[in-house]
């Protein structure tokens, strides 16, 4: 579990570590990396600007690319217990009629688990072996490995020296500027959506999506309940969740009891989490003063259901590779990590952007054309690039050894990264 721990205590704990690592951001990517480093005997310092672990949460679909991370962290059975298998996916027309149902779970089962889980449950699993965090703390500057910490009000806290600073502080990352990244390539869709939770109803292994004319409704099973997402253009969401849900209901002829329950959940939620549908991509992950990880490096639209999985994969791969590194070989290992992992993440992100172009276009003619395409375009075809990524996941140990061999041949002393 996440444990609020003073920054000074964390810094003291890593005094004898072969690599002193700072992770800024206690999200999915940062926690995966932290767990991997702790597994190998290191004591990464973890800080988060939030005053406590009070993220409102949302639902996630995790593809088999994350299975090895759970295995390495010793929590795969905990993951399976806290999640639910996603076996089928249904696509509905803008009027609510089911157009097709695909056995997505069967497609992915040859590679491993495809499960739905809430963000809160995932955080608990990733920190099952413990994770100290200094909440209400962030980093103001990093220069020559020395990080200057401040509280949420910007007041100085302390300075400390690290071999590696990791910016894992989300899609609207401050650490991009702190570490000297070039301006991010951002896709602003102009859409957002509310997240709500509903009682389990109907098939507990079925995910459903209704791509409407100017709205989107998705229902995704997690353990014992349904995660609901209702989205639309930002200017139309200003009426509030209850009014927008009522408008959607009036436009859908074949809603059915399950999606009707989902709309009720959005309308009755006291303060549903509003998820802004933007993404971001930076041109370089390894920077002069540190690296970017997870959404800070490549933040995803949720359209392909792969963002959290790629964040976990990147953190897991980096953790496995750092097991082979010391201060003299760190830069070579980081460079090889980015060379191999960034194209994979950007490929999945491009797939998400492609699906977003289909989802966010408006008009009845557009809806009809989209539905005609979806009748012919199976989930297997739509997610083909992502399935290939899962099938071709690299071996981080081999990648790390390649980096070390290259550094040795060049006679490098890579602290300069």
Which residues are within 8 A (CB) of 339 and not within 5 positions of it... i.e. 6 or more apart?
A: none
Rg (CA), the chain: 22
pLDDT(363) > 70:
no
**DSSP string covering 297-341, please?**
TEEPPGGGS-HHHHHHHHHHHHHHHHTT--TTTHHHHHHHHHHHH
| pTM of the full structure | 0.93
pLDDT at position 371 is: 59
Cβ atoms within 10 Å of 12's Cβ, excluding its own = 12
pLDDT at position 413 is: 45
CB 202 within 8 A of CB 257: yes
pLDDT at position 20 is: 98
Q: How far apart are CA 339 and CA 333, in angstroms?
A: 10
pLDDT(160) > 70:
yes
Higher-scoring residue by pLDDT: 191, 358:
191
For residue 365, what pLDDT band results from cuts at 50, 70 and 90?
very low
Strand-pair partners of 100: 91
For residue 165, what pLDDT band results from cuts at 50, 70 and 90?
very high
Q: Which domains does the chain have, with CATH numbers?
A: 2-84+118-186+280-357+397-416 (3.50.50.60)
């Amino acid at each position: 579990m996440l444990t609020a721990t003073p920054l000074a205590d964390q810094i003291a704990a890593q005094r004898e570590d072969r690599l002193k690592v700072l992770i800024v951001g206690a999200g999915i990517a940062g926690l995966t990396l932290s767990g991997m480093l702790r597994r190998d005997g290191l004591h990464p310092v973890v800080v988060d600007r939030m005053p406590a672990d009070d993220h409102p949460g949302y639902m996630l679909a995790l593809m088999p690319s994350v299975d090895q991370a759970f295995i390495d962290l010793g929590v795969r059975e905990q993951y399976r217990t806290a999640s639910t298998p996603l076996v089928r996916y249904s696509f509905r027309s803008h009027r609510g009629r089911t157009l097709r149902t695909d056995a997505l779970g069967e497609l992915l089962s040859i590679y491993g688990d495809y499960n739905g889980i809430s963000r809160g449950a995932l955080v608990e699993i990733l920190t099952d072996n413990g994770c100290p965090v200094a909440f209400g703390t962030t980093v103001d500057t990093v220069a020559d490995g020395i990080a200057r910490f401040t509280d949420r009000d910007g007041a100085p806290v302390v300075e400390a020296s690290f071999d590696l600073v990791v910016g894992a502080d989300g899609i609207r990352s401050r650490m991009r500027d702190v570490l000297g990244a070039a301006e991010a390539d951002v896709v602003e869709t102009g859409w957002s959506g509310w997240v709500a939770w509903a009682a389990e109803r109907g098939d507990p292994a079925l995910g459903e999506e209704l791509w409407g004319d100017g709205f989107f409704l998705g229902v995704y099973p997690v353990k014992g309940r349904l995660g609901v997402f209702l989205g639309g253009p930002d200017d139309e969401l200003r009426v509030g969740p209850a009014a927008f849900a009522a408008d959607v209901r009036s436009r859908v002829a074949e809603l059915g009891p399950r999606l009707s329950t989902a709309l009720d959940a959005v309308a009755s939620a006291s303060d549903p989490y509003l998820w802004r549908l933007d993404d971001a991509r930076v041109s370089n992950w390894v920077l002069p003063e540190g690296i970017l990880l997870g959404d800070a490096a490549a933040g995803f639209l949720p359209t392909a259901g792969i963002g959290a999985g790629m964040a976990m994969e990147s953190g897991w791969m980096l953790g496995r590779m750092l097991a082979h590194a010391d201060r003299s070989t760190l830069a070579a290992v980081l460079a090889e990590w980015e060379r191999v992992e960034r194209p994979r993440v950007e490929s999945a992100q491009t797939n998400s952007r492609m699906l977003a172009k289909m989802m966010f276009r408006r008009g009845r003619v557009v809806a009809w054309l989209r539905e005609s395409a979806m009748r012919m375009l199976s989930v297997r075809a739509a997610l083909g690039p992502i399935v290939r990524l899962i099938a071709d996941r690299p071996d981080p140990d081999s990648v790390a050894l390649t980096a070390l061999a290259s550094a040795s041949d060049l006679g490098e002393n890579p602290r300069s990264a």
